[in-house]
Amino acid sequence: MTGMLGDTGPIDYDALVEIRDVFLDAEPLVTHHSLDGRLDPQPALRVTVDAGFGSSPCGRFDVVWTEYNCYNVHYTEDDGLEFRFDRHPEPNAPPKHFHEPPDAETRVPSCIDVEPPELVTRAVLKCWRTALSADDPSKLNSRSNPP
């Protein structure tokens, strides 16, 4: 389940293709990726990365993108750590919000303002890598990465 609320429009398959390509171009830690067929009414884009927080050996991004530019970028690790960068109508948070780790239950404003899929994907990857290099999930939603 994606947890996206509101009228998001249909899934934007071409955006999923673009997002997959950004993952492959921009992030050398990507090990596996899969995208369901264009006619699947719920096409899943899954990207696995060869690193994780703490003792986790790997993590997985599941991405949903729709024609009204709503999105859900959901990261999970086998030990249960998860977080989500979202944009969609949400009664209890701004449309662009972040579900904090470790369980993605809370909703706080997202540090990501950019809107097109190729920019959101690059921003998510930067946030993830910055937090991962410090092995500190609390840095995931940080706007800056000071020297």
Which two tokens mark 25? 């171009």
Considering the complex, what minimum distance in angstroms separates the CB of residue 80 from other proteins? 20
CB 107 within 8 A of CB 90: yes
| Cβ neighbourhood burial of 83 (10 Å; 0-12, 13-18, 19+) | buried
Considering the complex, what minimum distance in angstroms separates the CB of residue 115 from other proteins? 9
- Decide whether 105 or 144 has the Cβ nearer to other proteins: 144
What distance in Å separates the CA atoms of residue 45 and residue 37, rounded to the nearest whole number?
10
Residues of this chain that interact with other proteins (CB under 8 A) are: 1-11, 13-14, 18, 25-26, 29, 37-39, 41-43, 51, 66, 69, 89, 91-92, 111-114, 116, 118-120, 122-123, 126-127, 129-130, 132-135, 142-147
- Decide whether 80 or 115 has the Cβ nearer to other proteins: 115
Angle ∠(8,12,15) on CA atoms, nearest 5: 125
- Decide whether 26 or 102 has the Cβ nearer to other proteins: 26
Considering the complex, what minimum distance in angstroms separates the CB of residue 13 from other proteins? 8
114: helix, strand or coil: coil
Question: What's 103's DSSP letter?
Answer: B
- Decide whether 32 or 114 has the Cβ nearer to other proteins: 114
